[in-house]
Amino acid sequence: MTRGRHCYREVLPFTAMFLVECTNTGLSTIFKAATDKGLDYHVFMLYSYAISTLLLMPMAFIFHRLISQLLGYRGIELSSPTMGSAMSNLTPACTFILALVFRMETLDLRRLSSQAKIIGTLVSIAGAFVVVLYKGPAVIRTVSPSIRPNALESSTQANWALGGALLAADYVLVSIWYILQAQLVKLYPAEIMLVFFYSLSLTIVSTPVCFLLEPNLDAWKMKANIGLAAILYSGIVGSSFGITVHTWGLHVKGPVYVAMFRPLSIAIAAIMSVIFLGDTLYLGRYGFVTAR
């Protein structure tokens, strides 16, 4: 019994959080590839939540976030998946600070764990600023500078800064959501049911918003291409699996534990962006230019 409880409380949450970060990074990569091919991110968001709702509806009865998503997906569209993963460094820091404010975490400067959390918070915030503000030499170059016009580079720089700002706002909202969700799951410990109503609510709320922002009906017609693959991946793996595991992790381990796995996605995103999107990998700023 003790060994089983240890596995449930320690080993399983660690494994689950690791898998979720891998799937989330894959989602960012396939989303970026799909938008490069013309998929509108409003269409993507609405369809993916609708799929998640349909998938979770039977599971919820068997087994008993809109602004943030708009900011996050738009930020990735303007920058890169690696930028999104790098800016997620803000999530552990903001979550830890909020957890202290709401007394969900205790801070004892004499304890090594508290010192590590403080150092980690400072490093996370500093790392996010470095990614946005500093562009070092290229580590892996997949695009020749001679084929990139100066005008395009200036435009990309502007998009990069705007994308970083949107992603920063997104991950601050994610931290707030973790705190609220951790309290909610204590009151109603039925993770799948909560995620089902979460997806259903987002589908209902995002429908008029997305149609208002993307009135072109042709954009809503899906074809058997990478756009459809990205939507299915997001609805099944990103929303249904990822958010459910995060909710369960919040219930079992708390918001700070879940948030601290966010930086893991940086290395995964950097590798996937170079391999699948042809991004140039820089020291400091990643994925600055995407291959065409």
Digit-by-digit pLDDT tens for the chain (292 residues) are: 577 776 777 888 888 888 888 888 888 888 888 888 888 888 998 898 889 888 876 665 555 466 777 788 888 888 777 677 777 778 888 888 888 888 888 888 888 888 888 888 888 777 767 766 665 666 666 554 443 444 334 446 667 778 878 888 888 888 888 888 888 888 888 888 888 888 888 888 889 988 988 889 888 988 888 899 999 998 888 888 888 898 899 988 888 888 888 777 777 777 777 777 776 666 655 443 333 3
Record the tokens describing residue 80, joined without a space: 């890169």
In sequence order, which residues have a C-beta less than 8 Å from that of residue 159 and are 6 or more positions away? Answer: 78, 79
Please give the C-alpha separations between residue 280 and each of 22, 96, 181, in angstroms, as whole numbers: 21, 33, 37
| Residue 291 DSSP class | -
Closest CA to 48 of 191, 210, 218, 276: 210
CA distance 126 to 114: 19
CA distance 155 to 91: 28
